[in-house]
Amino acid sequence: MNIFRRPAVHYGKTPRPETPYQKAAQVWDERIGSARVQARNWRLMAFGSLILSAGLAASLVWQLARGNVVPWVVQVDRLGEVQATAPAIAGYKPTDPQIAWHLARFIEQVRSIPADPVILRQDWLRAYEWTTDQGAAALNDYARANDPFSRISKQQVAVEIS
């Protein structure tokens, strides 16, 4: 038995052909028969792949419908190295240094005036991300009173909070 040769496909015992026409018919039947077997195998493979992909799609939809998303809190140091990771809980209370850092960053974004107006705009948009509707109204009032965009060409302000 050679592993590189396929076994011949036989559908049953066929009688020996008696005429050249019967021999030609038998050769034709063997050709068509092997093509039909190959087509059937490909069809089975295609339907199997279709069933497999439908099953995977259904399992993906089921997994997404469960809604088991768990947010995580990752604490990093000044250099960006991870110090602590834990799942976020509803009653999480930030520490005083964490609150101080975020407040300092917010004040830097609002009070600093860089030379580039694009950076100033980005700072203000980031500051607005931290505010509620009432806080946004207060920031609007502050911006109208001090107009940081008109001061760009006149002065630069760098804020350092210690």
Is the distance from CB of 148 to CB of 120 less than 8 angstroms?
yes
3 found inside a domain: no
Report in angstroms the alpha-carbon separations of 94 from 78, 107, 128, 133.
17, 18, 21, 22
Question: In the prediction, which pLDDT does 1 show?
Answer: 54
In a shared domain, residues 54 and 98: no
In a domain, 160, yes or no: no
DSSP string, the chain: --TTSPPPP--S--PPP-SHHHHHHHHHHHHHHHHHHHHHHHHHHHHHHHHHHHHHHHHHHHHHHH-----EEEEE-TTS-EEEEEE--TT----HHHHHHHHHHHHHHHH-B-S-HHHHHHHHHHHHHT--HHHHHHHHHHHHHH-TTTTTTT--B-----
What whole-number distance in Å separates Cα of residue 81 and Cα of residue 85? Answer: 11
Which pLDDT tens digits describe the chain residue by residue (162 residues)? 566 666 666 666 767 777 888 888 877 777 777 777 788 899 999 999 999 999 999 999 999 898 888 888 888 888 878 888 888 887 778 889 889 989 999 999 999 999 899 999 999 999 999 999 999 999 999 999 988 888 888 888 898 888
Residues 126 and 142 occupy one common structural domain: yes
Which pLDDT score, from 0 to 100, does residue 74 have? Answer: 85
Total domains in the chain come to 2
* Within-domain flag for 16: yes
Question: Residue 122's pLDDT is what?
Answer: 94
- Whether 155 is in a domain gets the answer no
Q: At 62, list the tokens.
A: 């089921």
Whether this model's pTM surpasses 0.85: no
The verdict on 87 and 128 lying in the same domain is yes
Res 131: pLDDT: 92
Measuring CA to CA, which residue among 65, 137, 127 is closest to residue 102? 127
What local confidence, expressed as pLDDT, does residue 137 receive?
Answer: 94
Structural domain for 114, as ranges: 72-146
Which residue shows structure tokens 């005083």?
Answer: 96
| Structure confidence at residue 49 (pLDDT) | 98
Which of 69, 89, 117 is where one domain is finished? 69
Same structural domain, 93 and 108: yes
